[in-house]
Chains A and B, each alone.
Chain A
Amino acid sequence: KAGVTQTPRYLIKTRGQQVTLSCSPISGHRSVSWYQQTPGQGLQFLFEYFSETQRNKGNFPGRFSGRQFSNSRSEMNVSTLELGDSALYLCASSFNQKNTEAFFGQGTRLTVV
């Protein structure tokens, strides 16, 4: 079966703009988590959705938001982009809300100039 699909793979935006990233989980998976990955910072948790509800949120400013649709696809939005938002954004899906056996997509590489 198809894996986790993230689009787009690469994105270049200008400071002050906003961006929307998309994640399609594995078919049947209802939990989607988002992470920011920067060199030397590891994986920083952004938020997690299960059945269209945000269950957990990490320590990121309100410029970072997300949502999940009834088909479990998820989007995250970053408004008023800053240079420091340049990172690899990863999405992970799992079957249930227990966050076990999470499967990651290849990520969206966002560059803010």
Chain B
Amino acid sequence: GENVEQHPSTLSVQEGDSAVIKCTYSDSASNYFPWYKQELGKGPQLIIDIRSNVGEKKDQRIAVTLNKTAKHFSLHITETQPEDSAVYFCAASIEDYQLIWGAGTKLIIKP
């Protein structure tokens, strides 16, 4: 079955710098890759997703890139702000099966 690995487990960056979180997946049939942000005391919130027919997608300061050959996808956050501090989860799925989740990355933005 599908397996998703997420790195790093903790990432500390200076405010204003960029942050990159990477996930690798095992099943080449996976075709949907969402990223979720979980703030303290809240449920995860979808922030961006990408499908396998697209290599990159941007939404303001966040972007996701997908390399199907290498079977990895990454979340890029530019000009980080204190409110970006949270735990970020990646996931992968073959569309009508359940999402398989990465273990999460705790992002710390240092003032």
Contact = CB atoms under 8 A, between A and B. Distances in A.
A100 B44 contact: no
A56, A98, A99, A105 pick with most chain B CB within 10 angstroms: A99
Nearest to A6: B43
Interface residues of B, number: 22
- Looking at chain B's contact residues, the main secondary structure is loop
A99 B99 contact: yes
Interface residues of A, number: 23
Contacts of B93: 99-100
A74 B103 CA distance: 26
B97 A106 contact: no
A43 B42 contact: no
Contacts of B96: 97-99
A97 to B, nearest CB: 6
Contacts of A40: 103
Contacts of A100: 32, 34, 49, 93, 95
A42 B42 contact: no
B95 A98 contact: yes
B43, B49, B100 pick with most chain A CB within 10 angstroms: B43
